[in-house]
Structure 1
Amino acid sequence: MTTQSLFFWKNWLKEYRTVWLGLGVVFIFSIVFLWFSWFKGADGILHWNKLQEQKMLETTVHSFRLGPFSLNVPAESYVIFEYLDGSDIVPNTTASYIFLAILVVCAIVILTVITTMERFWFFVGMGLFILFLVSLRLEVLGLFGHHHRIPVIAALVLYVVPAFYFNRVRASWSFTTRLLLFGGITALIAGCVALFAAVNYPFYHLTLTGYTPGMILTVLFIILIAHEVMASFVYITSRGGTKSLRHLSIISVIYLANILITCFHEMGVIDWNILYINLYLLFTVSAVLGVWGFRRREILYANIFPYHPFGGYFFLALGAIAFATMGQLLGNANDPALKVIRDAIIFAHTGYGIIFLTYLFSNYVLMLARDLPVFNVLYQPTRMPYFTYRFAGTIAVLGFVFYSNWHEYVFHSMGGFYNAAGDMHTLLGNGDFAESFYEQSRTQAFQNNRANYALGRLKASRFNFDDAHQFYAQANRRRPTPYSLTNAGNIYLWEGSPSGAVENFTENLKTHGSMGPLENNLGYAYSKLHNVDSALRYLDRARGHNQTRVTAETNFFAMAATENLPLKTDSILQLFGNTTPAVLSNALALSSLQQQPLKTDVSPLPATRLDLYSATLLNNYIVKYATTVDTTFIARANQIADDSLNSDFREALKASLAFAFYHRGNVSKALEILAEQTYLSQSYQGKFNYVMGLWALEQHNPDLASSFFTFAGTYDYKDARFYNAIALTEARRLPEALAAWDTVSRKEDLKEKLIATQMKKILTVSFAEVLTLSDPDKYQFCRYRVGLGDSLAFNHLVNSFANVNFKAQALLDFSQRYFEADHTVPAIRLFNRIAGLELTDKKLYNDVAHFELLMLAYRKETRGLANQINKGITFDESQSLEKMLYTALVAESNGDLNTAEKQYAVLSHYNPYFEEGIIASADFYRTNSKDSFKAYTILSEAIQINGNSIRLLKAYIAEALKKGFDEFAADANQRLVVAEQAAR
Structure 2
Amino acid sequence: MNKLAFWNEWNTTFKLTFQILSSLLLTFVVVFLAIQWGDLSPFYYWKLTGYLEHLSFPIFSNHSEFIESTITTDLPLIFQKVFGGSKTLSASYSYIYLVLLYGCLMGCLTLSTYLEKFWYYIGVGLWILLVALSGIGHVGFFDLYNQTAIIVVLLLFLPASYYFNSINENIGIGSRFLVFSGLILIVFGLIYFGSTYESPLLFLARFSYLPAALICLIFILIIGHEIIYAILSLTTPYSKSSSNNTTHFIVLSVAYLLNLAVLYLYSINYLNWDIYYINEFLLIAISAILGIWGIKSRQNRYAGILPYYPYTAFLYLGLGIITFVTLGFQAFHGNDAFITSMQNLILYSHIGFGLMFFLYIIFNFITQLKQNLPVHQFAYVEDNFPYISARIAGLIVVAALFFRAHYGSFYQGVAGYYNGLGDLNLALDNESIAQYYYKKSVSKSTNNHHGNFQLALLEKEPLQRLLYLKNSIKQEPTAYAYASLGREYENSSRFFDALFTYQDGLKVFPDHWAIQNNMALLYSKTNVLDSALYYLESSTPGSWKQAVVYANRNAVASLHGLELENQNNIDLGRFDLQSNTLANQLISNDTTSLSFVSQPQSLALNLFTFGYLKNLGLYCYQNQLPEFLQLIDPYLEAPENAAFRKELTLVKAFNLYRNGKVSKAIELIYQLKEMYEDESGKWNTLLGKWCLELDAPLQASKYLEAAREAYYPNVSADLAQAYHRLGDQSLALFLLSKESAANDSINPRLAAEWTKLFDKMQMNQSVWKRYSFKKERQLLAQAKKGGADQRLLFERLGLDNPFFEEGVLAATNYFQTAEEKEMAYRILHEAITVNEFSENLIKAYIDQCLNSGLIDFSEDALIKLIDILPREDYEAFEMAYEAKKTKAQTQLDQDW
Pairwise TM-score range, normalised by the shorter structure: 0.7 to 0.9
Give the residue type in structure 1 aligned to 2:305.
I
Cα distance in 1, alignment partners of residues 48 and 710 from structure 2: 35
Q: Residue 800 of structure 2: SS of its match in structure 1?
A: coil
Determine if the alignment matches structure 1 residue 955 to structure 2 residue 844. yes
Give the structure 1 partner of residue 884 of structure 2.
none
Give the equivalent residue in structure 2 for 1:519. 516
Within 2, Cα distance between the matches of 1:119 and 1:590?
A: 82
Equivalent residues in 2 for 1:446-845, closer than 5 Å: 446-459=446-459, 462=460, 464-510=461-507, 513-543=510-540, 549-565=546-562, 567=563, 569=564, 571-573=565-567, 581-598=575-592, 601-606=595-600, 612-631=607-626, 634-639=629-634, 641-642=636-637, 649-680=644-675, 687-702=682-697, 704-705=699-700, 718-720=713-715, 723=718, 742=738, 746-747=742-743, 748=746, 750=748, 752-756=750-754, 776-779=761-764
342-351 or 501-510: bigger deviation: 501-510
Match in the other structure for 1:970: 859
Assess if the C-alpha contact under 8 Å between 1:542 and 1:552 holds in 2. yes
- Is 1:943 aligned to residue 838 of structure 2? no
Q: By how many angstroms is 1:542 displaced?
A: 3.0
Verify: 1:165 aligned to 2:163, yes or no. yes
Change (3 A) 1:317 1:594: same
Deviations 1:139-179 (A, max 9, x none): 54454576666654443333333333333333322211222
| Residues 1:151 and 1:22: Cα distance change in structure 2 (over 3 Å) | farther
Contact 1:139 1:147 in 2 (8 A): yes
For 1:644-691, what per-residue CA distance to the aligned partner results, in whole angstroms no more than 9, with x for missing partners?
676765543333232222111011222333444455567866655543
Query: What CA distance in whole angstroms lies between the structure 1 residues aligned with 2:291 and 2:381?
Result: 18
* Secondary structure of 1:933's aligned partner: helix
* Distance change in 2, residues 1:727/1:777 (3 Å): closer
**Contact 1:745 1:752 (C-alpha < 8 Å) held by counterparts:** no
Report the residue type matching 1:80 in the other structure: I
CA distance in 1, matches of 2:306, 2:537: 63
Distance 2:40 2:704 in 1: 57
* 1:477-505, Cα deviation, whole Å (9 max, x unpaired): 23221121222222222123434422332
Say if 1:414 and 1:441, in contact at 8 Å, map to a contact too. yes
Return closer, same or farther for 1:936/1:178 CA change in 2, 3 Å cut-off.
same
1:909 equivalenced with 2:802 (yes/no): no
Q: Determine the C-alpha separation between the residues in 2 that align with 1:191 and 1:749.
A: 86
| Residue 510 to residue 135, structure 1, CA distance change in 2 (3 Å) | closer
- How far, CA to CA, are the matches of 1:664 and 1:253 in structure 2? 84
The structural deviation recorded for 1:289 is: 0.6
Which residue is equivalent to 2:442? 442
Q: Distance in 1 between matches of 2:166 and 2:470?
A: 60
Segment of structure 1 superposing worse, 308-317 or 191-200: 191-200
Shift of 1:756: 4.4
1:342: how far off?
1.1
| CA displacement, residues 711-770 of structure 1 (integer Å, 9 cap, x when unaligned) | 6668766545654565566567887995697467535555553454567xx6xxxxxxxx
Distance 2:163 2:855 in 1: 113
Deviation at 1:303, TM superposition (A): 2.4
- Aligned counterpart for 1:128 among listed residues 110, 126, 129: 126
Shift in alpha-carbon separation, 1:967–1:437, aligned structure 2, 3 A? same
Change beyond 3 A, Cα 1:437–1:681:
farther
- SS of the equivalent of 1:626 reads helix
Which residue identity is paired with 1:939? L
- 1:973 deviates by 1.7
Q: Deviation per CA, 1:24-57, whole angstroms, max 9, x where unpaired? A: 3432332133123203438532112222221222
- Cα distance in 1 for residues equivalent to 2:681 and 2:5: 84
Which residue of structure 1 lines up, in the alignment, with residue 822 of structure 2? 933
1:249 alignment partner AA: I
1:190 Cα shift? 3.4
* Cα separation, 2, equivalents of 1:673 and 1:9: 86
Displacement of 1:316 after TM fit?
1.0
CA distance in 2, matches of 1:588, 1:150: 70
Q: Is the 8 A contact 1:40 1:331 kept in 2?
A: no
Any conservation in 1 of the 2:67–2:717 contact (CA below 8 Å)? no
Change (3 A) 1:56 1:715: farther
Measure how far apart 1:116 and its partner are. Answer: 2.8
380-389 or 652-661, larger mean C-alpha shift: 652-661
Deviation at 1:632, TM superposition (A): 5.8
Query: What secondary structure does 1:79 align onto?
Result: strand
Residues 147 and 249 of structure 1: is their aligned pair in 2 closer, same or farther, counting only changes over 3 Å?
closer
1:339 match: secondary structure: helix
SS in 1 for 2:566: helix
* Distance change in 2, residues 1:715/1:779 (3 Å): closer
Q: What SS class does the counterpart of residue 87 from structure 1 fall into?
A: strand
Stretch moving more, 12-21 or 250-259: 12-21
Given that 1:591 and 1:598 are in contact with CA atoms closer than 8 Å, whether structure 2 keeps it comes out as no
* Shift of residue 944, structure 1, vs aligned partner: 2.5
Alignment-derived partner of residue 24 in structure 1 = 22
Bigger mean CA deviation after superposition, 262-271 or 742-751: 742-751
1:411 corresponds to which residue?
411
Distance across 1 between alignment mates of 2:613 and 2:244: 77
Task: Give the distance between the partners of 1:498 and 1:685, measured in 2 at CA.
Answer: 39
| Aligned 8 A contact 1:83 1:551 in 2 | no
Structure 2 residue corresponding to 1:880, chosen from 775, 778, 790 = 775
Residues 420-444 of structure 1: CA distance to partner in whole angstroms, max 9, x if unpaired? 2222222222333322322232222
Cα shift at 1:313: 1.6
The residue aligned with 2:430 is 430
Contact 2:821 2:852 in 1 (8 A): no
Once the 2 structures are TM-superposed, how far is the Cα of residue 884 of structure 1 from its aligned partner?
A: 0.6
User: Does 323-332 or 349-358 show the bigger shift?
Assistant: 323-332
Distance 1:360 1:595, change over 3 A: same
Deviations 1:42-80 (A, max 9, x none): 853211222222122233446564697767554442222
* Cα offset, 1:636, TM superposition: 2.7
Percent identity between matched residues is 25
Q: 2:804 & 2:466 partners in 1: Cα distance?
A: 63
- TM-score normalised by structure 1 residue count: 0.80
Structure 2 length normalisation: TM-score? 0.88
Residue identity opposite 2:612 in structure 1: L
Preserved contact between residue 455 and residue 468 of structure 2 (Cα < 8 Å): yes
Alpha-carbon distance in 2 for matches of 1:423, 1:906: 65
Structure with greater contact order relative to length (CA < 8 Å, sep ≥ 6): 2
Name the stretch that deviates more: 706-715 or 224-233: 706-715
Q: Distance in 2 between matches of 1:716 and 1:128?
A: 88
Q: Which moved more, 1:518-527 or 1:83-92?
A: 83-92
- Tell me the amino acid that sits aligned with residue 746 of structure 1: A
Relative to structure 1, the CA distance from residue 675 to residue 172 in structure 2 (aligned partners, 3 Å threshold; closer, same or farther) is farther
Q: Greater shift after overlay, 434-443 or 516-525? A: 434-443
2:828–2:841 CA contact under 8 A, matched in 1: yes
| Alpha-carbon spacing, 1:964–1:651, altered in 2? closer, same or farther (3 Å) | same
* AA in 2 matched with 1:879: K
Q: Count the aligned residue pairs.
A: 865
Amino acid at match of 1:973: L
Q: Structure 2 vs 1, CA of residues 19 and 903 (structure 1 numbering), >3 Å: closer, same or farther?
A: same
The answer as to 2:33 corresponding to 1:35 is: yes
Q: Which residue of 2 aligns with 1:898?
A: 788
CA offsets, 1:905-947, max 9 Å, x none? 3212212222222222122122226x54111122222222223
Residue 887 of structure 2: aligned partner: none
Equivalent position amino acid for 2:277 in 1: Y
